[in-house]
A and B are shown apart, each in its own frame.
Chain A
Amino acid sequence: MTCHQFDAALSAYLTGTLAESENVELELHASSCDRCGPLLSAATALPMVPPGVAPPPALRAKALTAVRRIRWIRRGRVWGAGIAIAAAAVLVLSTTPAPDSGVPSAPGKTSSVLAIDRAQPEFDALDRAARELESALLEAPDDPALRGFLATVNERRAALSRQVKDAAT
């Protein structure tokens, strides 16, 4: 995974909508990348607001003001600010190391790719089994045997994720 792909997948990771293998791939990348590691730590440390909860009026007003200010800058009314931002961006880009330079070594990367590739069909099989069990649990929510089967599937998924991560280290 590259830093660009990490950026694209981060929000899906945080909302739990990524596939298990993609979760592992993203965490692997973050664990070996100086740029994305802190980003993931910071993002996961943020409290999650449940959907449908309205922000306090003061926070809403502050956010709207900030958005208006950004729009104002974008329209080009403050050329000085734009030039300063562009200069700062050039400076940062020229001094920041290449995003993927934190990856430990090529064999490490090869092994993680191989592990993810080999584990993907197994993650798919676990997902199918979990879906079947979840739909059976809708009909019999108190069935301890079904819960036991589902717990086993979840344990196997967690163990497989750990094995994939271990392969790269």
Chain B
Amino acid sequence: MNRCLWILLLVVAPVSTVVAQRKVAAGIGVASDVAIRVWAPSGVVRLIAWDRDSVAVSGTVDKRANFFGGGAGSHAKFGIEASNPKDPVLPGGELTFRVPRASRVWVKMISGQIDATGVTGEVELYLVGGSVNVRNAAGVISVESIDAPVILEGVVGAVRIRGGKGDVTLRDVSGTATVATVSGGVTIVGPRLPDARIETIGGAIIADARLTGSTVLDLQTHSGAITLSVNPAMMPALELLTRGGKVLNEFKPSKGTARVVARSFKGDISVRPTADIKGGKSNL
């Protein structure tokens, strides 16, 4: 008897999941630098660049939501909307967009996950909560969120991130970066490093300061701790200023062309050899 019940459950459970969602499959021909706007209040949005002049959308939307979209040439627009405008539940789904590599993509979500890979035109992402991952991208990357953690990896170009509580990680990013958070921490890790201006209010800043050339890191926090990881053989010029915190730096002043300016109101500023930090909790 028990075996029959289990078999029944195994058959019914997947079917009920399928019924709760609707499949989406759409495609349109566009220009290689098409401007795409995506509005998905909740769920998952994946952007994958490909070398074709078309946009292909696949995935599912919730049963209480509708998928809409269209466009041609230089513009395309897609989204998810509630079947019933008075439904207080955020409409959502899980959509994968294959977009031309040089496209300019704008995505707005309320609570969800955005993953973008390979876009070299422009990526603008807006969300309240959830998470953002951008990998192997180039061009202009702009992210605004209130408490979503943001990870950028292998990015070349101009990066602009405005956040609140979510932590920001820039790994192997080159070009220029401006990052501003409130309580979210910011971590910058090489091997490539950008000219960066980082501002937090309470969030800790951990920066790999093995800088080359004339790279400049400008770090500012109100009460977060600033930790710099340096290679004594290639020390940048350091300017470390705090009003109420402590400065922990055992290294001799350097006249290198690369420069780090670190300022805090009351957060401690410490400079450590890279090896120390690697073994510590910062896990650079």
Contacts and interface: CB of A to CB of B under 8 A. Distances in A.
Contacts of A164: 146
B180 A115 contact: no
Given A106-B88, A110-B88, A118-B128, A129 B147 contact: no
A16 B243 CA distance: 30
A153 B90 contact: no
Contact of B183 (A122, A149, A159): A122
B247 to A, nearest CB: 14
Interface string A152-168: 11011001100110110
Most chain B CB atoms below 10 A, which of A109, A122, A129, A155? A122
A80 interface: no
A132 interface: yes
A107 interface: yes
Interface residues of B, number: 35
Interface in A95-146: 105-107, 109-111, 114-115, 118-119, 121-122, 125-126, 129, 132-133, 136, 145-146
A149 B128 CA distance: 25
Contact of B199 (A126, A136, A156, A163): A156
Contacts of A136: 243, 265
Secondary structure call for the B interface: loop
Interface string B204-236: 000000000000000010110000000000000
Contacts, number: 104
Contact of A167 (B85, B88, B128): B128
B281 interface: no
Given A118-B164, A129-B222, A105 B82 contact: yes
B201 A111 contact: no
Interface string B259-281: 00001011000000000000000
28 contacts: A106-B82, A106-B86, A106-B87, A107-B88, A107-B90, A107-B110, A110-B88, A110-B89, A110-B90, A114-B111, A114-B128, A115-B128, A118-B128, A118-B129, A118-B146, A118-B164, A121-B183, A125-B201, A126-B182, A132-B222, A132-B265, A136-B265, A146-B243, A146-B265, A152-B201, A153-B201, A159-B162, A163-B128
Interface of B: 41, 82, 85-91, 110-111, 126, 128-129, 144-147, 162, 164-165, 180, 182-183, 199, 201-202, 220, 222-223, 241, 243, 263, 265-266
Interface of A: 105-107, 109-111, 114-115, 118-119, 121-122, 125-126, 129, 132-133, 136, 145-146, 149, 152-153, 155-156, 159-160, 163-164, 166-167
